[in-house]
Amino acid sequence: MNTWQQWLDRTTEGSSARAIAHRIGVHHTTVSRWMNSNTAPCGEIIRIARAYRADPVDGMISGGWLTEQDLMNGGLRNAVRHAPTAYLTEELHERVVTGRMSGGFDELRRAFRS
């Protein structure tokens, strides 16, 4: 089972193709095709994630549409741009006090989920 299939199975809690199809409004043979492949179209991954209240970014990564580097490049820049000044200064202060001079991908993902 590939990463995409694992994400789909985990996200839908092992739902059948028919159950997923009914929930997102597509034909069950379409979902079956996705289940047996390495990915699904971007928009459909997002629909599945929303229907099952899951993180669409995880789905996009598992489906091969995004990489962790993509998130670090564009996502980090965007997150920093929109972060409240108080959050940024608290983060910088904490890094100086703890001696931790950089964040990592795990921190970025936590920030997106907050």
pLDDT in tens, 27-49: 999 999 999 998 999 999 999 99
Q: For residue 49, what are the domain limits?
A: 3-62
Quote the percentage of the chain above a pLDDT of 90: 51
Give the chain's mean pLDDT: 86
Q: Is the pTM of this model over 0.85?
A: no
Same domain (yes/no): 15, 55: yes
CATH number at residue 41: 1.10.260
55 shares its domain with 72: no
Q: What pLDDT is stored for residue 81 in this prediction?
A: 82
Same domain, 22 and 47: yes
- For residues 11 and 32, membership in a common domain is answered with yes
- Count of domains in the chain? 2
25 and 51 inside one domain = yes
Residues 17 and 50 in one domain: yes
CA distance 60 to 67: 8
| C-beta pairs of 74-83 under 8 Å, 24+ apart in sequence | 75/108, 75/112, 76/108, 79/108, 79/111, 79/112, 83/111
Residues 48 and 77 occupy one common structural domain: no
**What is the rounded distance in angstroms from the CA atom of residue 17 to the CA atom of residue 23?**
10
* 14 plus 33 within the same structural domain: yes
Asked whether residue 8 falls in the same domain as residue 55, the answer is: yes
Angle at 51 between CA 45 and CA 57, to 5 degrees: 40
Indicate whether 50 and 22 sit together in one domain.
yes
